Amino acid sequence: MNRRHLVCFALLAGVAPLALAAPQFQEMTGWSRFFEETDAQGTLVVLDARGGSEKTLVYNPARAKQRYSPASTFKIPHSLFALDAGLLRDEFQVIPWDGVKRSQPAWNEDQNLRSAMRNSTVWVYERFAKALGDARETAYMQKIGYGNAVSTGDKPFWVEGDLAISSVEQIAFLQLLYRNQLPFQVEHQRLVKDVMVNEAGPDWILRAKTGWTGAIGWWVGWVEWPTGPVFFALNMDTPNRLGDLAKRQSITRRVLRSIGALPAMP
């Protein structure tokens, strides 16, 4: 992250950098229509790094700096922790199902890293958390500066507990992962990015992860283009619970299409 964007994120997070007063982000009040048309309340941060320059676009900047439980977006760093700790060798290692029937049919079978990320299989990451322990989880989060970096509260701590992160901080973390600049083996960072692929076209790749606490929904990730990446982090209230979940991607995709960061729908 260059100095300009360190300043941007510091300002959004409420930290005053030395000798600088003006924020370096653009507030996108016009994006309100994408939220209003779906009756949603939330925030969206987009960092567009295409073409050799960077600009940060923010809808609802006050909320963008507020921390919320990361829910299943925590599976991104959590996968890195599991790989680094040797709990996983690669994306092919079988993670045996414990035989307990759960609400999601896709969870009721053996998993691997790719299926656990795709299906957001909670029990896999609960198993990782038990093997790592709270102290080691906390140390990993502190090492990468992930949100408030705590593993306290109810379990799983990334859904029901005290761990919290803002949209601004999500973007900062994703940038480091994109650049292989996290303090983990490069091959592990590349592997996690590979299992994050949602879809792709001839010249673009969308890597992303959803999250949901029951009250707050997330969609975070980036779109890779030959000219550079476009990072995004949306969080929104979900008062209608399952009825609101599709809005996470629909709002974000409409915004990304509006700036040419995703291809237009056919």
Active-site residue among 32, 53, 72, 120? 72
Query: What is each CA distance from 82 to 57, 90, 122, 141, in whole angstroms?
Result: 33, 10, 14, 12
Q: Do the Cβ atoms of 154 and 161 come closer than 8 Å? A: yes
Residue type present at position 136: R
Coil, strand or helix: which one is 17?
coil
Angle at 173 between CA 224 and CA 228, to 5 degrees: 20
What whole-number distance in Å separates Cα of residue 253 and Cα of residue 217? 15
Coil, strand or helix: which one is 207?
strand
Kindly give, in sequence order, each residue whose CB lies less than 8 Å from that of residue 11, ignoring residues fewer than 6 positions away. 17, 20, 23, 24, 25
Omega before 156 within 30 of 0, i.e. cis: yes
What whole-number distance in Å separates Cα of residue 218 and Cα of residue 245? 9
What whole-number distance in Å separates Cα of residue 208 and Cα of residue 211? 10
Please name which of 174, 168, 173, 147 lies closest in space to residue 158, comparing C-alpha atoms.
Answer: 147
Is 72 an annotated catalytic residue? yes
Kindly give, in sequence order, each residue whose CB lies less than 8 Å from that of residue 191, ignoring residues fewer than 6 positions away. 83, 90, 91, 113
Please name which of 224, 249, 226 lies closest in space to residue 238, comparing C-alpha atoms.
Answer: 249
* 3-class SS letters over 40-62: CCEEEEEEECHHHCCEEEEECHH
Active-site positions?
A: 72
